[in-house]
Chains A and B, each alone.
Chain A
């Protein structure tokens, strides 16, 4: 199910949180009502961890992860790294990487199987992504923009991309990612999809400015009406799925 919330008057939920199928990171020090919405949906299923990265609250844009691992930028302090290692489940590999482009969340978009990356990332980073996150890495641009992590977001069930992505690009990406994709917006026309929302296989959180239309698109492309985690028809990755328009 999709929920709408705000972080201190900002609708950029994806900036202050990082949601995956195995854990959820939220900005430390923010108001309690932000974290409580996450906890209401996720508590008991996956841990909701309050964290900061490099002393900042923009955890969603600085780190990237999936159920296999979490990648942190070089600005992460040792205490923060240790805190995350302690709080996350054991099977999640937490790794701090040395990449000049430190806003990993803006450069990399991934689910549990595939990752799209900024073409400017170094080879070592790509290899690390592939090792730690256990994904296949593709260098791509979205609607001519190199910040793939900002302008698209996808889970194992579906994805939402920048509204001005062409139909050919949409088809190509959908084939690469093996999930249905839709070009759309969140937060009342904001094109920065990933900053405006956080999503995993069974829950989505959008900014409170998201219109009902946008929310229904999110719910349908991410298949959120299907029920609780690990529910029916889980693995559709094997079957080739064409892009799906709602």
Chain B
């Protein structure tokens, strides 16, 4: 990552799933390494891919809160060791080594990319809960839409969940593998193709309502109405501790699927629906609150970033965007101490399809720093 750029400190690893809890509470249990999903790719279907490369050597662990009695780490079948080493050294910056007797436990975890399935409903819904603000909208319909589009769209889960279900086909699905937790999701939806769905109508209404800037409002309106059939809503959601090595792969898989869809889809109309000219993104950022009391201590303010991007690629997108606007978020703000000077804002950006190759290069460069 570029030096001097402050990344929000990794949030403590919350035990949000049976898997996560097993990591937190059993430091001694090594997670046995599974055979590469490639070996069983035939059983799992043509579109399942894992993040490409052979597993890297174990990285130094990322320490969670000092009070928790063990470390956990995520490894992914991702870039070569060099990238991961520099990454892990940054990630370990929060480990003060305050407990000398603590061993650095490494836990191996394999993530894999899958096509969206109807059984992913709850996981995807959880990821999208904060997509728009707290005002009720047809979130359920939106999730269903994403899950129906199996040709373009990827969900990230633990590598073994799918295998369990595949083997237990016909019989009962294993109890453990059931709550397959989604760690990330990426997809793109054609606003014209789905324009009649209530969730897309709600979304369009919402975006037009929160847009404060007259100029952006005009551009947004034309994007959502006349040009809708060539606009893709790019949705990328993931948990905060998602390993950055996998992010470029996630975007690569999306854009590859989009280009394959322009050839593989059964009808000409569907093929054309993936020839996007622009991408629309809705993201969250943290903007520093302008506090009149701090004006006296100017030098203190300069140390803090004016804007923090929880998802780093949003910064790249914003720089490459043709236009963008921000809007205030009314829902409960998080009460983290370090974030108290920041206000959560929504960010809407429009990126031309031609800028995507530049984006991919810059993302790759950012992650491998």
Contacts and interface: CB of A to CB of B under 8 A. Distances in A.
Nearest to A31: B134
A208 B332 CA distance: 22
A9 B137 contact: yes
A89 B280 CA distance: 53
Contacts of B137: 9
Interface string A195-208: 00000000000001
Contact of B122 (A57, A164, A190): A190
Contacts of A57: 332
Interface in A14-58: 29, 31, 33, 57
A80 to B, nearest CB: 17
Question: In this complex, which of B121, B125, B136, B137 has the most chain A Cβ atoms within 10 angstroms of its Cβ?
Answer: B136
Given A31-B134, A164-B175, A8 B121 contact: no
Interface in A184-219: 188-190, 208-209
Contacts, number: 29
A208 B136 CA distance: 11
Question: In this complex, which of A9, A31, A57 has the most chain B Cβ atoms within 10 angstroms of its Cβ?
Answer: A9
A10 interface: yes
B197 interface: no
Interface string B128-142: 010010111101100
Given A31-B134, A164-B175, A208-B140, A9 B129 contact: yes
A158 B354 CA distance: 60
B331 interface: yes
A116 B182 CA distance: 32
B331 A8 contact: yes
A223 interface: no
**Interface size class, chain A:** 10 to 19
A144 B94 CA distance: 37
A6 B136 contact: yes
Nearest to B129: A9
Nearest to A8: B134
Contacts of B332: 29, 57
Interface in B120-168: 121-122, 125, 129, 132, 134-137, 139-140
A7 B265 CA distance: 39
B175 to A, nearest CB: 7
B121 A10 contact: no
B129 A10 contact: yes
A8 B136 CA distance: 6
A189 B136 CA distance: 21
Interface string B200-211: 000000000000
A55 B135 CA distance: 22
B121 A9 contact: no
A8 B135 CA distance: 6
Nearest to A6: B136
Interface string B163-187: 0000000000001000000000000
Question: In this complex, which of A31, A33, A164, A209 has the most chain B Cβ atoms within 10 angstroms of its Cβ?
Answer: A209
A138 to B, nearest CB: 25
A9 B202 CA distance: 13
Contacts of A33: 136
Nearest to A188: B121
B245 to A, nearest CB: 31
A188 B137 CA distance: 17
Contact of B136 (A9, A29, A188): A9
B129 to A, nearest CB: 6
Interface string B82-109: 0000000000000000000000000000
A245 B136 CA distance: 35
Nearest to A29: B332
B219 to A, nearest CB: 27
A10 B125 CA distance: 9
B140 A209 contact: yes
A8 B329 CA distance: 13
Contacts of A188: 121-122, 140
A189 B140 CA distance: 13
Contacts of A8: 134-136, 331
A11 B132 CA distance: 15
A50 to B, nearest CB: 16
Contacts of B135: 8-9, 31
Query: Which 8 A/B pairs are nearest by Cβ-Cβ distance?
Result: A8-B134, A6-B136, A9-B139, A209-B140, A9-B136, A9-B129, A9-B134, A10-B129
19 contacts: A8-B134, A8-B135, A8-B136, A8-B331, A9-B129, A9-B132, A9-B134, A9-B135, A9-B139, A29-B332, A31-B134, A31-B135, A57-B332, A188-B140, A189-B121, A189-B122, A190-B122, A209-B125, A209-B140
Given A9-B135, A209-B125, 9 more contacts: A8-B134, A8-B135, A31-B135, A164-B175, A188-B121, A189-B121, A189-B122, A190-B122, A208-B140
